[in-house]
Amino acid sequence: MKNNPVWRESVETFFAEGQGFPVYFYLLIILAPVEFLSLYLPSLDAQMWSGSASLFRISSVTALLLTVYFAMRVANQEFAPWRFMPVRRWIRERGLSTASIGQAQQAFLLLHAAVSVVLCAPLLIWAGAIARTPLPRIGATLLLLLFYAFSYGVWGLVSLVLWERRSETRQVFIRCFFFAVVFVSALVYLPLNPVAFLLAYLGRQELPALNLAGWRWPATGVHFGFHGVLGAAGLMAHRWALKKELTS
């Protein structure tokens, strides 16, 4: 991967030149005040009046939304887009295979998600300590953030390859995709929604199972199955889009 020019370009642009630092700045500058102020804010439920009790939950949900949203935008090359060489040129001029381009883009998405989670980790772990959340649950939450960021972020890569020259289209697509998945999943079957699932997990609540075709599917299985399929579909669509770029 080290010698992959697409990977090197992304890493240099984002980290060596510091073009990606604003992403992390936005992430932390939103998360930190939300975390602090949530100590003073009552929640919706009268029985959960205490901000400190919900501190980790509120911080985790905020971190989840921010991580996923920025992962999609980073994958979509919305930050310093002029510094990235188009996919078509990588293929036509540099003779790179679609597989190596795809791998590099996915690896960089994973790196970005990991850096985001690492940067959020101290704030989340402090919140967890104050809210007396058990360490395994804090660890699981961090892993969930990584999982969601990648599952949703690959759709940013799909839009990047599909509409590389139409940046506005890409931006509209990923925003619509993000909000549609979050809201529709909540409307269709609540356990599909990542926010609802995370809140239920942290609140040790039992989510209702899905009764479908006479079968009773456990909510956790359905949730991870859905997001696994979503991520896998994104990876397949990314590969298909790259191949389409090669043949066009």
| Interface contacts to other proteins, rule CB under 8 A | 16, 18, 21, 24, 28-29, 32, 35-36, 39-40, 42, 45-53, 118-119, 121-123, 125-126, 128-132
Minimum distance from residue 185 beta carbon to other proteins (Å):
24
Q: Rank residues 117 and 157 by Cβ distance to other proteins and give the closer one.
A: 117
Give the residue from 86, 232, 95, 99 showing the smallest Cα distance to 160: 86
What stretches of the chain adopt beta strand conformation (E)?
Answer: 210-212, 215-217
- Quick one: tokens of 144? 């969930």
Rounded least distance, CB 189 to other proteins, Å = 22
Q: Is 3 exposed, middle or buried (0-12, 13-18, 19+ CB in 10 A)?
A: exposed
Residue 15 is given by DSSP the state I
CB 67 within 8 A of CB 132: no
Q: Which one, 128 or 234, has the nearer CB to other proteins?
A: 128
Q: State the minimum distance, in angstroms, from the CB of residue 128 to other proteins.
A: 8
- Shorter beta-carbon distance to other proteins: residue 15 or 217: 15
In the complex, least distance from residue 130 CB atom to other proteins, rounded to whole angstroms: 5
Which of 142/230 has CB closer to other proteins? 142
Which amino acid, residue 163? W
